[in-house]
């Protein structure tokens, strides 16, 4: 069995203090349909990663998720993703989509 997770990109609109002297502090953002991230997570005999997105570095994100969730017998396929550090939340979306897939699988 494999778990497929697809997430949209997001435009971060900034952090705001909604009350001058209050504690209501938060951020605003909107999801956009494209580009998107699509990953597949499945049980494996070891830990493996297949990155089908040419030129996209994902090792740091995968290592963070692997160590945070303490998993070892998982396979991950990065099927679709967009460049990092372009203001669309790709690093966060990639980490969350892999983590969610692992959580649903286990």
Average pLDDT over residues 4-23: 82
- The rounded distance, in Å, linking the Cα atoms of 41 and 76 is 5
C-beta separation of 38 from 4 below 8 A: yes
User: Looking at the 3D structure of the chain, how many domains does it have?
Assistant: 1
CATH number of residue 43's parent domain: 3.30.230.10
Asked if the structure places residue 29 within a domain, the reply is no
Q: What is the pLDDT of residues 36-70, one digit of tens each?
A: 999 999 999 999 999 999 999 999 999 999 999 99
Average pLDDT score over the chain: 92
Range of the domain at 69: 2-7+36-105
Q: Is the pLDDT of residue 13 over 90?
A: no
């Amino acid at each position: 069995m494999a778990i497929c997770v697809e997430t949209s990109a997001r435009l971060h609109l900034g952090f705001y203090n909604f009350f001058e002297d209050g504690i209501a502090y938060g951020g605003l953002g909107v999801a956009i349909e494209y580009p998107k991230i699509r990953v597949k997570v499945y049980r494996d005999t070891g830990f493996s990663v297949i990155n089908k997105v040419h030129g996209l570095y994902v090792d740091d994100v995968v290592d963070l998720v692997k160590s945070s969730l303490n998993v070892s017998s998982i396979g991950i396929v990065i099927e679709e993703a967009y460049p990092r550090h372009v203001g669309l939340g790709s690093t966060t979306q990639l980490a969350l989509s892999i983590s969610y897939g692992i959580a649903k699988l286990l």
